[in-house]
């Protein structure tokens, strides 16, 4: 039973939509590569993800929303502003993971969040 209400429940639900969109984008890429007769996980080994800026939001409630959505998040400070980074559901690295994260970011941005891609290389 969830105790999330209001904006935290909405965040959970929006994260679920973002995760689903990310998985779809990644799977579409993989299917396209298979149809072309190649399987690549090209690009840099990365930890790309979606991030959103949530000023004055309760960190533990944001992390609970992420958990209930099926992901995890961590804090990231960019130019003095705290952001939350939400990991995509993926077993890939490189291009498929980047496409997954970018799709997540788009869904979150379209839902009205101050969203941007988080990119990190190994």
Task: Evaluate if residue 2 carries a pLDDT over 90.
Answer: no
Mean pLDDT in residue range 53-81: 96
Determine the angle formed by the axes of helices 6-35 and 95-110, rounding to 10 degrees.
140
SS3 98: helix
**Model confidence pLDDT, tens digit, residues 10-46:** 999 999 999 999 999 999 988 888 888 876 666 666 8
Which residues, 6+ apart, have CB-to-CB distance to 16 below 8 Å?
69, 70
Domain ranges of the chain: 6-118
pTM of the full predicted structure? 0.91
Which residues, 6+ apart, have CB-to-CB distance to 63 below 8 Å?
72, 73
81-86, strands of its sheet edge to edge: 73-78, 81-86, 49-53, 114-118
Least confident of 25-29, 44-48, 81-85, 92-96: 44-48
Task: Evaluate if residue 73 carries a pLDDT over 70.
Answer: yes
Mean pLDDT in residue range 46-54: 94
The proportion of the chain whose per-residue pLDDT surpasses 90, expressed as a percent, equals 72
Q: What is the pLDDT of residue 88?
A: 96
């Amino acid at each position: 039973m969830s105790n999330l209400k209001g904006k935290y429940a909405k965040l959970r639900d929006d994260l679920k939509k973002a995760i689903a969109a990310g998985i779809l984008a990644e799977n579409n890429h993989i299917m396209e590569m298979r149809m072309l007769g190649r399987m690549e996980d090209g690009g840099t080994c990365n930890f790309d993800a979606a991030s959103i800026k949530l000023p004055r939001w309760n960190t533990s409630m944001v992390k609970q929303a992420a958990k209930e959505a099926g992901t995890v998040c961590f804090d990231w400070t960019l130019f003095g502003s705290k952001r939350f980074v939400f990991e995509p559901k993926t077993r890939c690295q490189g291009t498929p993971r980047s496409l997954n994260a970018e799709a997540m970011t788009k869904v979150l941005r379209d839902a009205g969040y101050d969203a941007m891609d988080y990119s990190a290389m190994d």
